[in-house]
Amino acid sequence: MNCKQLNSIGLEEVLAFLGHLPTRQNEKEAWYLSPFGPESHASFKVDRPQNLWYLFSEGAGGTTTDFIQKYLHTSVKEALEWASNQNFSSFHPQTKTLKPNPNYRIDKIMDISHPNLIQYLYERGLSEKVYPFIKEVWFTIENKQLYAVGFKNNSDGWELRNVFYKGALLKKDITFLPFFQKAESISQNEARKNAGSGKVAVFEGFTDALSFIELQKSFEGDLLVLNSTAMLNKALTVLDSYLEISLFLDNDKAGTQCKDTITKHFPHARDFSLLYSDHKDLNEFLTAKMKHHAHDTINTAITKTAINEPTEKQNNCKEETNRIKKGLQRKM
């Protein structure tokens, strides 16, 4: 991706992805509360035909690239890398405005039951143990109905995954699970009230959080899922009151940057990514462990067969020898 391509992505799509919605809008412009800090009156304007932004409270503005740089406090190169890893729609001309109504709808939400989703979860190393934390979501995008494993965030948005689809619907946000045995997410305000002085484990994606639940037997603490590294600033406010912070982030550049930011704010945070240093993330570690266990089980079965086989042959030979001896004795 280059700057021209990044600037062709609608600012409104990027803002929605980051969890910011307009306070008022018309065909030509959309107004937002500043994405860069708290304010009571919207001073951030998006020029829809030009796909440009301007923040009146600071006198700053620019393109989509400029916005991402400022929002993530990063360089042009890192902004391009970040955008390349996100699930933005196909590039469109800068003069094209976004549709006033979303081109999707959620049809139904239910407990996990579809065989394809159960198989998908199994292949990711996830069992019924994690079912209370997820849902089966049926949705329609541009008249095409899909279904996926859904993970709810604090703004009632959904992270969606299946074998062929990876995306999100509605507002983007973090997910806070207070004491992970309780399979429920709560609003951000309630999250801040409940975030106490105990333990919290931090993950980038929900499959990593589910992998942690799958692997753990005695952890007593809260789980915080970013759902995107772009949500890190929101997560920092929740982490502020914890005495024990355990990081289970990805072993890639984005995960390392996220880890460095958290440890800079909270020096007592502990990085556990070394436990799965040979893998991209915790879920990849879990699936590899599951395959290795299955391989060991097969090898054990083969070994047992090999050990038992000579004994069985010896027993058969003894039986045949005794039968022949008895026959000879009768003749004599």
What is the number of other CB atoms lying within 10 angstroms of the CB of residue 75? 10
Q: Are 231 and 175 in contact (CB under 8 A)?
A: no
Distance from C-alpha of 154 to C-alpha of 162, rounded to nearest angstrom:
21
What are the two backbone dihedrals, phi and then psi, of residue 124, each rounded to the nearest 5 degrees? Answer: -90, 5
Residue 295, pLDDT above cutoff 80: no
- Which of 23-37, 47-61, 232-246, 307-321 is predicted least confidently? 307-321
**What does the DSSP 8-state code read for residue 219?**
-
Give the pLDDT of residue 40. 78
Q: Residue 136: which pLDDT band, with cuts at 50, 70 and 90?
A: very high
Q: How far is CA 67 from the centre of its chain?
A: 24
Tokens 């609003």 map to which residue? 187
Tokens 């333990």 map to which residue? 199
Residue ranges per structural domain of the chain: 3-84, 104-282
Helix (H, G, I), strand (E, B) or coil at 316: helix
303 versus 310: the higher-pLDDT residue is 310
Tokens 């299955």 map to which residue? 294
Q: Are 245 and 204 in contact (CB under 8 A)?
A: no
139 versus 21: the higher-pLDDT residue is 139
| CB environment 184-217: b (16+ within 10 A), e (fewer) | ebbebeebeeebeeebbbbbbbbbbbbbbbbeee
pLDDT above 70 coverage of the chain, percent: 77
Give the pLDDT of residue 331. 45
The overall average pLDDT reported for the chain is 78
Q: How far is CA 54 from the centre of its chain?
A: 32
Distance from C-alpha of 324 to C-alpha of 322, rounded to nearest angstrom:
5
Give the pLDDT of residue 291. 78
Q: Residue 184: which pLDDT band, with cuts at 50, 70 and 90?
A: very low
pLDDT tens string 22-56: 788 887 898 988 888 877 788 999 998 899 999 99
Residue 323, pLDDT above cutoff 90: no
What's the CATH number of domain 3-84, 3.90.580.10, 3.20.20.190, 3.30.9.90, 3.40.50.300? 3.90.580.10
Give the pLDDT of residue 210. 93
